[in-house]
Structure 1
Amino acid sequence: MTDTRATKFDLDQYIGMKVKKARLDQGLKLVDVARISGISQGMVSKIENAQVSTSLETLNRLCDAIGLPISKLFSDYDRPDGGAQFTKADEGLEVVRRGTDKGHTYQLLTYKRGGKTTFEPFMVTMDDLSEVFPTFSHPGEEFIYVVSGKLVYRHGNHLYEMEAGDSLTFDAEVPHGPETLVEAPIKLLSIIHYSDD
């Protein structure tokens, strides 16, 4: 599991990126912008490539030439950093759950250190068609989404024939679990949401 964050641009890089995108969106060449704005082509290029810091007056003329209001130029710059937890495919934290000894593989797709966990997303893989599966019962509400394969899933006294693209949401206190694996391997996304109580 990797905590990868996007690169934070410094102000000159941010301005250059936004100006260049706006120019290209308008279908303008550097020479066109230089002619319209009265700024040399070399200076426009340096601004776009963050090789120079420019005055507000020059920046305002440049924005007028490319049809980008200067207020819009800075609209996203102070956006909060964020800090999302990013997990690459098949790199979830492998954890042991009740079904592990029955051949299920559980990859926890995000985790929180300390504090209270409000939800847990898992990628569950099942591949043994002949296996007898346990039923599960735990606090919270659960959502499952079949990514691949086919199975019959039990919730209480109800059976659901599920295939790729199907989903099910249910009270996780009621006994539930795979009844029959029809077409393996099966991958399903399971998200357990815990109440605030």
Structure 2
Amino acid sequence: MTDPRGTQFDLDQYIGMKVKKARLDEGLKLVDVARISGISQGMVSKIENAQVSTSLETLNKLCSAIGLSISKLFNDFDRPDGGAQFTKAGSGLEVVRRGTEKGHTYQLLTYKRGGKTAFEPFMITMDDLSEIFPTFSHPGEEFIYLVSGKLVYRHGNHLYEMEAGDSLTFDAEIPHGPEKLVEVPIQLLSIINYADD
């Protein structure tokens, strides 16, 4: 396990930290835990300070005394580190797409270096009511979610009147795109999935 500062804990340190936190959360003193568990106060202190490795039997008594189950004790120990890509609002990578020349702003919200891209999420901003739109057609399946504003969106021969909170999912090979902006500014989240069928 790694703490928020990136320090790696070994098993004894991890057990000590979790046991001490559970004891303090319960408002128990070392002497209370020793009395309830039947484990000496010195041994409880050594376990909490990772000065000794303890048997499962002793650990079970200790956990019972502080109201911590063995399964809960270990639930965080082997958790993978993770490492998601975090993008702050408004800081996506601005990219050029077909709609850029029409005044659309495209922010790519995540990117992957190397390998095949499975999906692309964009935040698209539109703010010109008089705009005339081209239709778009590209591989993949697309999901769009209208964050703000109102517009009429075309997919093939169908028109959808969309307002904030509405979404569409469709085959992106079929011509699609905004037909008419009704209320600006518009923010549209678009996620294109390129995964193979």
Structure 1's unaligned 5+ residue stretches are none
Question: Residues 46 and 52 of structure 2 are in contact (CA less than 8 Å); yes or no, is this contact kept in structure 1?
Answer: no
Structure 1 residues 20, 184: CA separation in 2 closer, same or farther (over 3 Å shift)?
A: farther
Contact 2:16 2:50 in 1 (8 A): no
Q: Deviations over 1:102-133 (max 9, x none)?
A: 11111111111111111111111111222222
Work out which of the two has the higher radius of gyration on C-alpha atoms and give 1 or 2. 2
- Three-state SS of the structure 1 residue aligned to 2:159 is strand
State the alpha-carbon separation in 2 of the partners of residues 123 and 93 from structure 1: 10
For residues 69 and 175 of structure 1, the distance between their equivalents in structure 2, rounded to whole angstroms, comes to 57
Structure 1 residues 94, 46: CA separation in 2 closer, same or farther (over 3 Å shift)? farther
| TM-score using structure 1 length | 0.80
The residue that corresponds to 1:148 in the other structure is 148
**Number of paired residues?**
187
Superposition pairs for residues 112-123 of structure 1, below 5 Å? 112-123=112-123
Residues 60 and 122 of structure 1, relative CA distance in 2, 3 Å threshold = same
Residue in structure 2 matched with residue 171 of structure 1 by the alignment: 171
Relative distance call for 1:117 and 1:63 in structure 2 (3 A) is same
CA contact (8 A) 1:30 1:44 kept: no
Counterpart position of 1:131: 131
What runs of 5+ residues in structure 2 fail to find an aligned partner? none
Mapping 1:6-155, distance limit 5 Å: 7=6, 9-11=8-10, 14-15=14-15, 18-19=18-19, 22-23=22-23, 28-31=26-29, 32-33=32-33, 35-37=35-37, 38=39, 40=41, 47=48, 52-57=50-55, 59-155=59-155
C-alpha distance in 1 between matches for 2:122 and 2:5 = 24
Counterpart AA for 2:128: D
Give the 3-state SS of the residue equivalent to 2:138 in structure 1. coil
The residue type equivalent to 1:125 in the other structure is T
Q: For each residue in 1:17-68, what CA deviation from the matched residue of structure 2 results, as whole angstroms up to 9, or x when unmatched? A: 53355446xx620324454345549x65993xxx544432564443121222
**Are residues 164 and 70 of structure 1, via their aligned partners in 2, closer, same or farther at CA, if it must alter by over 3 Å?**
same
- 8 Å CA contact 2:145–2:168 kept in 1: the answer is yes
3-state DSSP of counterpart to 2:132: coil
Please, what TM-score do these two structures have when normalized by structure 2? Answer: 0.80
Counterparts of 2:28 and 2:128, CA distance in 1: 62
Larger CA deviation: 127-136 vs 162-171: 127-136
How much is the aligned-residue C-alpha RMSD, in angstroms? Answer: 2.9
